[in-house]
Amino acid sequence: MLLLTGGAGFIGSNFVRDWFSTGGGPLVNLDKLTYAGNPRNLEGLPAGAQHAFIHGDIADRDLVSDLLEKHGISAIVNFAAESHVDRSIHGPEDFIQTNIVGTFRLLECARAYWSGLSGDRRSSFRFLQVSTDEVYGSLGPNDPAFTELNRYEPNSPYSASKAASDHLVRAYHHTYGLPVLTTNCSNNYGPYHFPEKLIPLCIHNALAGKPLPIYGDGQQVRDWLYVRDHCSAIRRVLEGGRPGEVYNIGGWNEKPNLDVVRTLCAILDDESPRTDGRSYSEQITFVKDRPGHDRRYAIDARKIEAELGWRPQETFETGLRKTVRWYLDNSEWVREVVSGEYRNWIATHYAS
Ligand code: NAD
Ligand code: TYD
């Protein structure tokens, strides 16, 4: 039985969907349901014994220890995190609490539980830490893409908190022998993405006739990966990754933000044209840059391909079109997500 944390968020809920659609066994889904966690993301999925949803915090030792014992957990996949860089700039505290303290407590519970296992159950146990390429810092235009050997040089409170948790994961392997795996992935996009992040924000704003805010000059580069490709990579690492190893996951798909938003507008022009016949790209608006904004991320994903045979299936164009169609077909989901708390965030953050 798998214990998934943060499984009501963007990637976690896609992972649950992917897991069951590929014949995965029962799982326990532990999620605190912060503003980013949404039970509606899990609609239509198995429930009950197949998929036990637990509303709780990864930092709650008693709860986590109890879940591990009660369900005889064989692996933990840790998605739970505060994940938005801009929120980490406005208020880092929650990031320290969940990403660092929470991961530490989860590791402590995992270590105590795993120490009590024996035989195959002990040797096959895994703790998979879902991390980000942002821990490696920012690349110059001609630097090679990040490999697993790059130094950690996090620049935002978000990436620093993820880096700290990755270091703890590493240390629990080195010191206690806990069989851990770490994945560092590039920017994801796809269904159920909370509309505070660039792609879903721009889809939502475009359709609502609002500005599409581009930070600074829009030439910051990210390496985009369709979320279901990330999910299949995590499955591969869980099945075949070597304990103690790090695997970088990316889309081989570097794009400047402005190109991303222009491509998005072209797809929207095609799929849901503006009533006045003009292009959504006319809504693009340059706004003040993010403080400390990393210029470029790029992932060298050769290790996971060579060792585990994983490569992304979607191109940016196919993945983005699927994403746009999902948002057009799921306007009710967006309407519910764009709640009071969300509106406060947009009003405060974009006011400046
Ligand atoms: P998200 O913000 O959409 O979801 C996070 C989920 O974690 C939410 O459901 C939230 O309720 C839950 N959560 C938060 N604090 C918790 C706590 N203390 N206990 C239990 N649950 C808690 O994030 P996401 O985009 O799905 O990212 C998932 C993971 O993948 C994160 O660890 C993130 O750092 C990592 N990651 C994300 C990306 C990306 O592009 N989104 C890329 C690489 C890595
Ligand atoms: P985001 O989706 O927040 O992901 P991350 O910061 O983790 O890479 O942002 C993706 C890129 O888009 C990043 O360079 C910041 C930029 N961006 C904008 O230009 N405007 C926006 O309104 C947002 C949210 C992001």
- Domains in the chain, start-ordered, CATH in brackets? 2-349 (3.40.50.720)
Verify whether residue 134 is a known catalytic residue. Answer: yes
pLDDT 10s digits, 276-301: 999 999 999 999 999 999 999 999 99
E strand residue ranges, 107-191: 126-132, 180-185, 188-189
Q: Among 86, 90, 92, 82, which Cα is nearest to 59's?
A: 82
Q: Which of 158, 172, 189, 327 is catalytic?
A: 158
Q: Indicate if 133 belongs to the active site.
A: yes
d(CA 167, CA 183) in angstroms, rounded, equals 13
Segment 89-105, tens digit of pLDDT: 999 999 999 999 999 99
Q: Which of 55, 47, 59, 54 is nearest to 73 (CA)?
A: 54
Mutate to test the pocket of ligand 1, among 78, 79, 341 (most ligand atoms within 8 A of CB): 79
Give distance in angstroms: CA of 96 to centre of ligand 1.
14
309 has pLDDT over 70:
yes
Q: Which amino acid is at 24?
A: G
User: How crowded is the C-beta side of 342, counted as CA atoms within 13 Å?
Assistant: 16
| Angstrom distance (rounded) from CA 235 to CA 196 | 27
Residue nearest to ligand 2 atom 7, measured at CA = 85
Tell me the per-residue pLDDT of 125-184, one tens digit each, with 9 for 90 and over: 999 999 999 999 999 999 999 999 999 999 999 999 999 999 999 999 999 999 999 999
352: pLDDT confidence band, cut at 50, 70 and 90? low
pLDDT in tens, 10-44: 999 999 999 999 999 999 999 999 999 999 999 99
Confidence check: pLDDT of 343 > 90: no
Tokens standing for 195? 């509309």
Report CA(198)–ligand 2 centroid distance (Å). Answer: 5
Q: Evaluate: CB of 257 within 6 angstroms of ligand 1.
A: no
In ligand 1, which atom is closest to the CA atom of 162?
A: 34
Q: Does an H or E element contain 175, and which?
A: helix 157-176
Amino acid making up residue 93? E
pLDDT in tens, 183-224: 999 999 999 999 999 999 999 999 999 999 999 999 999 999
Nearest-atom index, ligand 1, CA of 33: 11
Per annotation, catalytic residue among 18, 31, 57, 133: 133
Quote the strand ranges of the chain, DSSP E: 2-5, 27-31, 51-55, 75-78, 126-132, 180-185, 188-189, 212-215, 221-223, 225-226, 246-249, 254-256, 284-287
* Alpha-carbon span 234 to 6, nearest angstrom: 14
Q: Which two tokens stand for residue 120?
A: 């195959």
Residue 132 Cβ < 6 Å to ligand 1: yes
In this predicted model, what pLDDT tens digit does every residue of 39-58 receive, in sequence order? 999 999 999 999 999 999 99
Using alpha carbons, select from 76, 30, 82, 78 the residue that is nearest to residue 55.
30
Is 342 among the residues known to form the active site?
Answer: no
Cβ of 98 closer than 6 Å to ligand 1, yes or no, is: yes
**Confidence band for 79, pLDDT divided at 50, 70 and 90:** very high
For residue 295, the ligand closest to its alpha carbon is 2
| Percent with pLDDT over 70 in the chain | 100
- Half-sphere CA count of 302, side-chain side, radius 13 A: 6
Concatenate the DSSP letters of all residues of 215-253 into one string. Answer: ETTS--EEE-EEHHHHHHHHHHHHHHPPTT-EEEE--S-
Strand partners, 223: 254
Say if ligand 1 is within 6 A of residue 10 CB: yes
Q: What is the average pLDDT value for the chain, to the nearest integer?
A: 97
Ligand nearest to the CA of 67: 1
Q: Could you give the CA distance from residue 295 to residue 256 in angstroms, rounded to a whole number?
A: 9
Strand, coil or helix: 293? coil
CA of 107 to the centre of ligand 1 (A): 17
- Residue ranges in 177-226 assigned as alpha helix (H): 198-207
Is residue 215 lining ligand 2, measured as CB closer than 6 Å? yes
Catalytic residue among 18, 82, 134, 223: 134
- Cα(130) to centroid of ligand 1, in Å? 9
Closest to 281 in 3D by CA, of 289, 273, 292: 273
What DSSP string describes 57-70? -TT-HHHHHHHHHH
Q: Which among 86, 212, 253 is positioned nearest to 159, based on CA atoms?
A: 86
Identity (one letter) of the amino acid at 29? N
If you average pLDDT over residues 218-241, what whole number do you get? 98
Q: Which of 10, 18, 12, 91 is nearest to 53 (CA)?
A: 12
- The residue whose CA has the least distance to atom 21 of ligand 2 is 198
CA 81 to centroid of ligand 1, rounded, Å? 4
Q: Are 108 and 102 in contact (CB under 8 A)?
A: no
- Alpha-carbon separation of residue 114 from 59, 111, 239 (angstroms): 18, 5, 18
